[in-house]
Structure 1
Amino acid sequence: MPHWTALVEEKRQRQLNSIPQEWLVTPPPDSILDVTDFPETTGLLNAEEIEITNTSVDVLLEKLASAEWTAVDVTTAFSKRAIVAHQLVNCLTEIFVDSALARAAELDDHLKKTGKVVGPLHGLPISLKDQLCIKGLETTMGYVSWIGQYADKNAVLVDVLIECGAVPFVRTNIPQTLMFPETFNNVFGRTTNPYNRSLTSGGSSGGEGALVALRGSPLGVGSDIGGSVRIPAAFCGLYGLRPSYGRVPYCGARNSLEGQDSVLSVFGPMTNSISGVKIFMKATLLQFGRSGTKTSTISLDHGSGKDLCFAIMWDDGVVVPHPPIRRSLEITKAALQKAGHKVVDWKPIKHKLLGDATRDIWNAGSAEDYMITTSVTGEPIIATMELDDVDPAVASFRPQKAGITAYQLWQVQKLRQNVRKEYLDHWEATASETGTGRPVDAIICPAAPFAAPPHGKNRYANYTTVWNALDYPAAIFPVTTVDSILDGKEPRRGFYDDLDKHIHEMYDPEKFKNAPVCLQLVGRTLEEEAVIKMTEVVDAALAAAK
């Protein structure tokens, strides 16, 4: 077996060879931090391709169905822009433009001959996180040890998307093992944030977040076990959804911690509009046979969408968010009240306990899982996402202690189960304060205590992880961006603990300059349709209030 670095060199050369050479550009120098406008200045995309890549998913599908735009033209436009995005922020892993264009041509031919679309996603290019196996392609998931392992069939979700008429065309970067809220691995390197390349794009779906933010894809699929869709969506200014366990098919995808079935990973969409989230869920749920007909309505359980009551969680009782996050919560509260909805405060319970229990469940076997996987080539297990060498004990998301016994694991799983019931009761009890006769319809809260932080500094993911532990669906929606004038550093008199103090002290409005600020809307288990619709309600309220 060659030394692992030789495998990486060979793999990176093959990736470079998969890029049409006429699509290579000269990226701006590293000193240019915001590169969101760069793809339209290269001259590579013509006027129509720029228009195509700036069009929302719903309008794209209308134009594809009417044959105003061909699937080949749309796939070409997004492929070009994806390649430019990759040269700016290093967001791609597998690039398979030729096969995507061949698929697009088949769809165009079918529409021309029959006058009918293949499915609800006819001709739509879709990017995929580097977990979703595609027949004939490698899925390394950031492991050198998995280079050269080619899939003999598609993941189920890939087949579902193809049956819906979609055109998979690239796969996107992730952290080694997936179990990091940032994106860096030994195979493909680091993905940066297109709004400020000194900041992280998040993780583990960080390649997806960066690509979609640069409009190199109209719709991407990420996965989420502790925030891996929502963190990059929030850091990159997108809409995203973490569905409940099992609503979107996972079979046939690669993963870490396989066999751990207490807190499960789920696939969810990442896109530039809430309509894209709705379209993805409706298409895949109908195709997969898991309902989906209610995605445009809110049930009577939520007053059919009238006079809703939202609860705002200002902090989780562990870490207080930075000023831009607080301001985004205040903006959202004011917009909802102006739109006629009621807003109350959410009182979080046992968030630290839920986060600790979840990490204990993952860490029961994760160290051995990573060791066995990497031992094939001897590649190092990445302990930190810091740019400079630091004490791994300070910066690491890796387990800091040995695994627990099976009996101890059962006790942690039992604890989580009990807290889930306690949290449900807590939510139900809010019916006495909403004035609607119903419990709170949804919780609005931070997705992280900060906007996208510098590389290596995303050390607190509990604002997303608790909802994985509870299996509550949650959507991300954009609100604003960091403003050095409006979001100045604020003194605090007291702190929950040293972690809270550390995160407070890391805030500097200049370091977070131009970072998107998003929030999270949380519903209850299997309420994806209601969560999407309520996010539409919030989105409309924010737009009306501007």
Structure 2
Amino acid sequence: MSPTMSTWQELAAEKKQRQQAAIPKDWIVAVPPVDQLDVTDVPAKCGLLTPFELEITDTSDVGVLLVKLAAGQWSSIDVTRAYYKRAIVAQQVTNCLTEIFVERALARAGECDAYLKKNGKPMGALHGLPISLKDQVRLKGLETTIGYVSWIGDYATRDATLATILYEAGAVPFVRTNVPQTLMWPETFNNIFGRTLNPHNRKLTCGGSSGGEGALIGMKGSPLGVGSDIGGSIRIPSAFNGLYSLRPSFNRIPYEGSTNTMEGQDSIPSVLGPLSISLSGVKAFTKAVIDLQPWTKDPLAVRKAWDEEGYQLKEHGNGKDLCFAILWDNGYSLPTPPIRRALEIAKKALEAKGFKVIDWPGFNYGELSTTVSHIWAAGSLEDYATTTAKIGEPVIATMALDGVSSSLEWLTPIESLSAYELWQLQKKRTELRKAHLDLWESTASLTGTGRPVDAIISPVAPYAAIPHGKNADVTYTMVWNGLDCPACVFPVSKVDPYIDVKEPRDKFLSKADEFFYNLYDPDFWQNAPTCLQLVGRTLEEEAVIGMTEIVDAALSAYKSLG
């Protein structure tokens, strides 16, 4: 702590002031009143972005951006400046950023433009593309706090491995984004930067822990970003903001050099992965990183090259006779009407294209969820307390707006476990993984293709984006971390109060199920995005992306029919 600062509150306030000072003064805009809930149109109406900059940032396909950048049709400086302006607008209405470094990013963009002009070819697969980074991926010379006041002033002496690879691929890291303190929340709030809001409805959470990424990209303030996921932290913000994303298998994307919470907990490690405005962005990021052989830089990175045959679905009937299984509920909480409708839309869209869709057989996902959460909690309280004790910052105990935790609060403390007790949980997880594998293999008798189910389509959460402080169910995401299954999120629809009416129920699967049923109000959720996730087998990222492309195309065709 600086000798002139006596409290953690003063240190946090000073950091926030430095962040505000990093915003160019002529990029400050008139923000709408707090009662304007949907702020997604502010960038187009605020007058900061030129028509050309709006054209750039309204481009809905990362593949198109990459083609224009590689051909020199659009310069990286122009594209980076356009996205930076839009990111700063997003910051002013959703509070989604942490680190702002405009001149540094523009200088990097200039290097990309100079390289293209000199060599007549792009620098790499992500040439000139602005990429946002969750406040975990270290960049040399910048602080990385992950929402801890204690880590203010900790300046990175080198780039994280993923950042190094992104530079090699020609990308332009240009902002870092907000997270919850400890990262172990499905919402986004900390004592330094405050709360991040959902741009579609600022009374709703943006999700977490990659919530800043979700809100930023939901505002089209970045075309492609990096988040992390230990229990849904990429997928939940992606779903709540209507985006595409990928939770890859353990260590497929390099984590080395990035900051994390609960470091050393390797049974269910966090993974880094992309969030994007388009599925082409998810693929471009994943392939670009893997093609640069991360296993030569990160000792834990899986030595597995990009599998083009996997992407072409060679082991899945070459994509011609796929069979998808729908997980209608997980036995813990029923999806609310908008999510149920999204599942039904996906089924109809796939069947209209001639694919088979079956119901996923039941599994004890409740036991798996409990096992996973107890593995996380084995030493987490000590980890948080050790970090915050350096400066006396309190560990945040609730994400509620009024600061009062509920009985369904996500971060429920449990006593630390002994090494032996942790081993028993890890053993149980292995047993559950084996049981789930056997179940998946047994579906070969149900598909009619001669193969087991090709992929599972599941809710990301039982609801669309939920009011602040209420996101207490991550069971639909955390089970796939426990099983180490890659999962790709894709948008389906939006909440429509005229269709997604609340239906009477007198029986509930759990207290959480009853709580969310009573909370659901279709009018309050109006226009909130609804998304689903496609789940594949371990280390099958390429096939998951390929199958999600098929589902996405089927949905587009189905919607075009009205």
Bucket of the pairwise TM-score, normalised by the shorter protein: over 0.9
In the alignment, the residues of structure 1 paired with residue 78 and residue 497 of structure 2 have an alpha-carbon distance, to the nearest angstrom, of: 41
Contact persistence 1:135–1:153 (CA under 8 A)? yes
Report the counterpart of residue 98 of structure 1 in structure 2: 103
Among 35, 41, 63, which residue is 2:39 paired with?
35
Rounded to whole Å, the distance in 2 between the matches of 1:408 and 1:492 is 39
CA–CA distance in structure 1, aligned partners of residues 411 and 491 of structure 2: 30
How far off is 1:297 after superposition?
Answer: 3.0
CA distance in 2, matches of 1:208, 1:128: 7
Hey, what's the Cα distance between the residues in 1 that align with 2:306 and 2:101?
31
CA distance in 1, matches of 2:512, 2:27: 45
Query: Deviation of residue 288 (structure 1)?
Result: 2.4
User: 2 CA distance for matches of 1:295 and 1:499?
Assistant: 42
Answering whether residue 301 of structure 2 is matched by residue 297 of structure 1, we say: no
Structure 1 position 396, deviation (Å) = 2.9
| Residue 148 (structure 2) aligns with | 143
Q: TM-score, normalised by structure 1?
A: 0.99
* CA distances 1:44-76 after superposition (whole Å, capped 9, x unpaired): 111110011111210111111111110100000
Cα 1:486–1:361, aligned 2, differ >3 Å: closer, same or farther?
Answer: same
The match for 2:480 among 459, 467, 482 is 467
Secondary structure at the residue paired with 1:316?
Answer: coil
The CA deviation at 1:30 is 0.7
Alignment partners' CA distance in 1, 2:510 and 2:180: 29
1:401 — aligned with what?
A: 414
SS of the residue 1:394 aligns to: coil
- Whole-Å separation in 2 of the counterparts to 1:432 and 1:295: 25
SS in 2 for 1:128: strand
Determine the structure 2 residue equivalent to 1:448. 461
After TM superposition, the structure 1 stretch with the greater mean CA deviation from structure 2, 496-505 or 265-274, is 496-505
Q: Kindly provide the CA deviation profile for residues 254-311 of structure 1, in whole angstroms up to 9, marking residues without a partner as x.
A: 1011011000100010001111101111100101254125188333320010110000
Question: Would you say the 8 A contact 2:322–2:454 is kept in 1?
Answer: yes
Matching of residue 184 in structure 1 with residue 197 in structure 2? no
Q: Is the 8 A contact 1:120 1:283 kept in 2?
A: yes
- 1:532 corresponds to which of 530, 542, 545: 545
Contact 2:408–2:512 under 8 Å retained in 1: no
Structure 2 residue 449 is matched with structure 1 residue 416 = no
CA distance in 2, matches of 1:27, 1:288: 44
Aligned to 2:400: 386
Q: Mean Cα displacement is larger for which, 56-65 or 285-294?
A: 285-294
Identity %: 60
Contact 1:175 1:184 in 2 (8 A): yes
Alignment correspondent of 1:109:
114
Does the aligned pair in 1 maintain the 2:313–2:546 contact within 8 Å? no
1:24 aligns with 28
Stretches of structure 1 lacking an aligned partner (at least 5 in a row): none
- What one-letter code is carried by the residue in structure 2 that aligns with 1:349? F
User: RMSD of aligned C-alpha atoms?
Assistant: 1.0
Q: Is the 8 A contact 1:282 1:295 kept in 2?
A: no
Q: Which moved more, 1:267-276 or 1:490-499?
A: 490-499
Structure 1 residue 514, shift from structure 2 partner: 1.4
Please give the TM-score of this superposition, normalised by the length of structure 2: 0.96
Give the whole-Å Cα distance in 2 for the aligned partners of 1:70 and 1:371.
Answer: 47
Partner of 1:438: 451
Tell me the equivalent position of 2:180. Answer: 175
Query: Partner letter of residue 33 of structure 2?
Result: P
Superposed CA offset, 1:331-389 (max 9, x none): 11000000010000002311011110011101110000000000011111111110013
SS of 1:311's partner is: strand
**2:331 — aligned with what?**
317
Deviation at residue 401 of structure 1 after TM alignment: 2.1
Change (3 A) 1:393 1:196: closer
Residue 374 of structure 2 is aligned to residue 369 of structure 1: no
How many residues in Structure 1 have an aligned counterpart in Structure 2? Answer: 545
Q: How far is the alpha carbon of 1:395 from its aligned partner?
A: 4.5
Letter in 2 for 1:123: G
Q: What stretches of structure 2 of length at least 5 have no aligned partner?
A: 295-303
Aligned partner of 1:308 among 322, 326, 336: 322
Residue of structure 2 in register with 1:244 after alignment:
249
User: Any conservation in 2 of the 1:366–1:399 contact (CA below 8 Å)?
Assistant: no
Q: In structure 2, what residue type is equivalent to 1:348? A: G
| Alpha-carbon distance in 2 for matches of 1:62, 1:134 | 27
The equivalent residue for 1:13 is 17
Q: Equivalent of 1:158, from 163, 166, 179?
A: 163
**Aligned residue number for residue 84 of structure 1:** 89
Residue by residue, what CA displacement relative to the aligned partner does 1:80-108 show, whole Å, maximum 9, x if unpaired?
Answer: 00000000100000011111100111111
Equivalent-residue separation in structure 2 for 1:299 and 1:330 (angstroms): 24
Q: Distance in 1 between matches of 2:462 and 2:348?
A: 20
Q: 1:472 to 1:543 in 2, by over 3 A?
A: same
Deviation at 1:504, TM superposition (A): 1.2
Deviations for 1:112-156, whole angstroms, at most 9, x for unmatched residues?
Answer: 111011100000000000000000000011000000010000000
Look up the SS of the partner of 1:136 in the other structure: coil
Does residue 541 in structure 1 map to residue 541 in structure 2? Answer: no
Contact 1:324 1:482 in 2 (8 A): yes
Partner of 2:272: 267
Match of 1:342 in 2: 356
Task: Give the 3-state SS of the residue equivalent to 2:203 in structure 1.
Answer: strand
Rounded to whole Å, the distance in 2 between the matches of 1:532 and 1:11 is 39
Is 1:66 equivalent to 2:71 in the alignment?
Answer: yes
CA contact (8 A) 1:184 1:190 kept: yes
Residues 393, 400 of structure 1: 8 Å contact kept? no
